[in-house]
Amino acid sequence: MRLTLSPLDSAAATLLVATLTLGLSSPLTHALERPHIIVLFADDLGYGDLGCYGHPTIETPHLDQMAREGLRLTSFYVAPWCVPSRSQIMLGRYSVRNPVGRTGSGGDGGLQEDWVTLPQSLKKAGYHTVMLGKWHLGYQEDRLLPVGKGFDYWFGLPYSNDMRRPWVKTDVPLWLYENTQKVEHPVNQNTLTTRYTQKATEFIRQDHKRPFFLYLAYAMPHLPVRTRDDFRNQSRSGLYGDVIQTLDWSVGRILQALKERKLDDQTLVVFTSDNGPWLNLPARMLQDGNQPWHTGSPGLLRGSKGTTYEGGVRTPCLLRWPGQIPAGKRSAEIVSSIDFYRTFLTLAGGKMPEGVSDSHDLTPFLMGQTTQSPREDFFYFHGSRLDGYRRGPWKILFRNGLELFNLDLDPSERYNRAEERPSLVKDLTTRIRSMAASTGAKLALPE
């Protein structure tokens, strides 16, 4: 069903008030004016949670329409949990290259000074950069917050929404921030999604004299799942479904704002998630109203958040840019969030920073100039450990002994083919050893 919502309560929707310097657009890229870029990043959303990815009862009409009007990826890869996944977007490298330390409540870690973030690179290219939502890449000093890492404005949480009592035994209060100022405690999590959406649409409706990068990192559907009262009891999938349908409403509002401002065909919009659903819940989460079924679905995939099986690291990904990305396309080609960095800079006419990058330029693939992704493989890192490797359809994994899967034939990773393909196992293992040597990653390979 489609949701009909009342206007936002003015007390719950603080207007975007940052005063930012505007400039003029730079030269054209690919014979096109440089696009605005919006990344909508869900938290713990599963591969099977959207209608266009097969959920039988959660209704996501706006995201389904986004899929019809753009590109739907079915082999899109992230990292197994929140922090490494966010570092990969910000730096365009596998997370093992980006050790950030503890960045949750009480932690003093964060992105290093000499790492050039995506928003910093886009600012150099003349972009106006705004972030809304969850950061989780350092907060103890102003320089570690988003406004110290390339964003002109930030409104959101410094880390996950469960990092407060009773779920995490911490004496550090969870605050909502605006730039470097703490503005709300306790945080009203029921209205977080709608407030982020209000700020996003207010920003889009401004008079933009230069291209913008908007990164909206939702708190949901990370536990504890919350939504506003008028979104509750709308989904046949209960509270979790209500929360996903709130995200869908948010996407609809953002796309509508682009159309109203006549920015629709000038804007690349990406929707994805940081990792798979949080199914193996720690006991600390099953209190204060949280239930085991307040989590998502990996669909036909094996595993969940925190694992390097497909359900932990493969998520929905939709990309929409009317007139540039061909509509109604689906692809099983390998793509990763790591690739956003180089792709966005290519579209922005910017320059990649010096240093190691694992990012690929997806622009010919996205625009239909080729059916093949430039990414031919993907390494499965679990923190500092390298668990496995995928090249083409074949995936080798070493966490439960030696496992080899053909993901084209067996996306659920049911059938171990290692014994029948020894030469392939040897070849893929050689590549894993090489990557481990270059990154310093730990290995769990058999002798």
CA-closest candidate to residue 122, choices 284, 341, 324? 341
User: Quick check: is 342 in a domain?
Assistant: yes
Identify the band that residue 45 occupies on the pLDDT scale cut at 50, 70 and 90: very high
Dist. CA 164–CA 298, nearest whole Å: 27
Residue-by-residue DSSP string for 177-220: EETTEEEESS--GGGHHHHHHHHHHHHHTS--SS-EEEEEE--T
pTM summary value: 0.92
Q: Which of 330, 345, 371 is the last residue of a domain?
A: 371
Instruction: Say yes or no: 285 and 393 in one domain.
Output: no
Which ranges of 205-313 does DSSP label H, i.e. alpha helix?
Answer: 238-260, 310-313
Residues labelled catalytic: 82, 136
Instruction: Say yes or no: 429 and 332 in one domain.
Output: no
- Give me the pLDDT at residue 399, please: 87
For range 314-343, the mean pLDDT: 98
Instruction: Say yes or no: 275 and 138 in one domain.
Output: yes
- Give me the pLDDT at residue 33, please: 82
Q: Which of 346, 371, 396 is the last residue of a domain?
A: 371
User: Quick check: is 71 in a domain?
Assistant: yes
Q: Which of 321, 349, 371 is the last residue of a domain?
A: 371
Instruction: Say yes or no: 268 and 284 in one domain.
Output: yes
Instruction: Say yes or no: 251 and 394 in one domain.
Output: no
69 close to 271: Cβ distance less than 8 angstroms: no
Instruction: Say yes or no: 65 and 211 in one domain.
Output: yes
Percent of the chain with pLDDT over 70: 92
User: Quick check: is 76 in a domain?
Assistant: yes
Higher-confidence position of 442 and 33: 442
Instruction: Say yes or no: 402 and 274 in one domain.
Output: no
Identify the band that residue 28 occupies on the pLDDT scale cut at 50, 70 and 90: very low
pLDDT score of 17 more than 50: no
* 82-91 helix and 340-348 helix, angle to the nearest 10 degrees: 30
- Give me the pLDDT at residue 263, please: 97
- Give me the pLDDT at residue 445, please: 80
Tens digits of residue pLDDT in 157-203:
999 999 999 999 999 999 999 999 999 999 999 999 999 999 999 99
Region at 252 (left for phi over 0; alpha for psi -120 to 50; beta for the rest): alpha
Dist. CA 198–CA 5, nearest whole Å: 13
- Give me the pLDDT at residue 447, please: 57
- Give me the pLDDT at residue 13, please: 37
Region at 87 (left for phi over 0; alpha for psi -120 to 50; beta for the rest): alpha
pLDDT score of 4 more than 70: no
CA-closest candidate to residue 49, choices 331, 366, 336, 317? 317
CATH for 159: 3.40.720.10
Instruction: Say yes or no: 386 and 335 in one domain.
Output: no
Dist. CA 215–CA 221, nearest whole Å: 17
Range of the domain at 401: 379-443
User: Quick check: is 6 in a domain?
Assistant: no
Instruction: Say yes or no: 324 and 420 in one domain.
Output: no
Instruction: Say yes or no: 188 and 243 in one domain.
Output: yes
123 close to 146: Cβ distance less than 8 angstroms: no
Instruction: Say yes or no: 322 and 400 in one domain.
Output: no
Tens digits of residue pLDDT in 221-251:
999 999 999 999 999 999 999 999 999 999 9
Instruction: Say yes or no: 255 and 395 in one domain.
Output: no
User: Quick check: is 11 in a domain?
Assistant: no
Tens digits of residue pLDDT in 98-148:
999 999 999 999 999 999 999 999 999 999 999 999 999 999 999 999 999
How many domains does the structure of the chain reveal?
2
User: Quick check: is 15 in a domain?
Assistant: no
Tens digits of residue pLDDT in 63-98:
999 999 999 999 999 999 999 999 999 999 999 999
CATH for 421: 3.30.1120.10
Helix (H) or strand (E) segment spanning residue 344: helix 340-348
User: Quick check: is 19 in a domain?
Assistant: no
Residue 429, judged by CB atoms within 10 A of its CB (0-12, 13-18, 19+), counts as middle
